[in-house]
Amino acid sequence: MKKLLIIAFTMFTAINAFCFDWPQAEVSKDSFNSYFGQNRGGTLSTSVIFSEPEEVKAAEDGYITVILTENSDDSDFFPSTLGTAVILSHADDLISVYGNLDAETLTLKNENEHTIDGGAIIASSGNSGFQENHGNLEFKIIDTKNKSAINPKVLMPRAEEELPLSLSGIMIGSKNNDFYDINVYKTFNSGLYKVYFKRNPIAAPYKTSVSINGVIVDQLSYDMITQENNKLCIIGKKKYTAADVFPNENLQLLGEVMFTPGRATLGLSISDILGNIKHLNYNILIK
Which ranges in 48-165 belong to alpha helices (H)? 152-155
Q: Which tens digits make up the pLDDT trace of 148-175?
A: 999 999 999 888 899 999 999 999 999 9
The secondary structure of the chain in percent helix, strand, coil, rounded to multiples of 5, reads 10, 40, 50
Write down the pTM of the prediction.
Answer: 0.86
Radius of gyration over every alpha carbon of the chain, rounded to an integer in angstroms: 20
pLDDT above 80 for 239: yes
Q: What pLDDT score was predicted for residue 25?
A: 83
Strand partners, 195: 172, 255
Q: 3-state class of 257 per DSSP?
A: strand
Span of 36-40, 148-152, 205-209, 228-232 with lowest mean pLDDT: 228-232
Check pLDDT > 70 for residue 115: yes
Return d(Cα 149, Cα 196) in angstroms, integer: 24
The average pLDDT across 108-132 equals 77
Q: Is the pLDDT assigned to residue 134 strictly greater than 90?
A: no
* pLDDT at residue number 111: 60
Q: Is 93 helix (H, G, I), strand (E, B) or coil?
A: helix
Q: Under DSSP, is residue 207 helix (H, G, I), strand (E, B) or coil?
A: strand
pLDDT of amino acid 15: 37
Average pLDDT for residues 249-265, to the nearest whole number? 97
What is the DSSP secondary structure assignment for residue 146, as one 8-state letter? T
Q: Among residues 219, 210, 218, which one has the least CA distance to residue 284?
A: 210
What's the pLDDT at 18?
A: 47
pLDDT of the residue at 234 = 96
Q: Is the pLDDT of residue 48 over 60?
A: yes
pLDDT tens digit sequence for 88-105: 999 889 999 999 998 888
Beta bridge partners of 262: 286
**72-81 own/partner pairs: CB under 8 Å, 24+ apart:** 76/43, 76/46, 76/227, 76/230, 76/231, 76/232, 77/46, 77/140, 77/142, 77/149, 77/227, 81/129, 81/130, 81/131
3-state SS, one letter per residue, for 15-73: CCCCCCCCCCCCCCCCCEEECCCCEECCEECCCEEECCCCEEECCCCEEEEEEECCCCC
3-state SS assignment for residue 249: coil
